[in-house]
Homo-oligomer: A and B are copies of this chain.
């Protein structure tokens, strides 16, 4: 089954790639790596999960936001590669949570992204990760992920 079919079976549609939030491009290919720009929890051109995690929204809600970040990252990957099936492996996820000072649950938030990538891509979705809490994100998003994937050579 294709990754996009699995995505649909999970109840998701691949959105149009998100608009760039600045003077950069959504992805760059170098060798067999596709380095994706950071993605936010955008839906229909708006931040769907905004604010400080631990104050404005809870961990479970922010984890949904992280899943939406991953969906937008996949949209960028598809735009670059033509098909999600060209992803040989998700290499790395760098996750940033817009947390209150001292926020220590960034892994639980980022699991929303990580579990989704594995659900859609299977073994190819398993990745290394680093998660931190930061004091602010673009457009006041609750979470941002930056994904790097390996492309079939």
Chain A interface residue number, banded: 35 or more
A3 near B: Cβ within 8 Å? no
Residue interface bits A8-45, CB-to-B below 8 A is 1, else 0? 00000000000001111111101111011110000000
B104 A140 Cβ-Cβ under 8 A? yes
A122 near B: Cβ within 8 Å? no
A129 near B: Cβ within 8 Å? yes
Assembly CA distance A144 to B130 (angstroms): 8
Report 25 cross-chain contacts, Cβ distance below 8 Å, ordered by A residue.
A21-B131, A22-B111, A23-B110, A23-B115, A23-B118, A24-B110, A25-B126, A25-B128, A28-B89, A28-B90, A31-B31, A31-B32, A31-B33, A35-B91, A52-B102, A96-B130, A99-B135, A102-B136, A103-B135, A103-B136, A104-B136, A104-B137, A105-B138, A107-B138, A133-B134
Interface of A is mostly: mixed
Q: Which of B23, B126, B134, B146 contacts A134 (CB 8 A)?
A: B134
Assembly CA distance A104 to B144 (angstroms): 12
Which B residue's beta carbon lies closest to that of A131?
B138
A63 to chain B, nearest CB (A): 10
Chain A interface (Cβ < 8 Å from any Cβ of B): 21-28, 30-33, 35-38, 52, 89-94, 96-97, 99-108, 110-111, 114-115, 118, 126-140, 144, 146, 148, 150
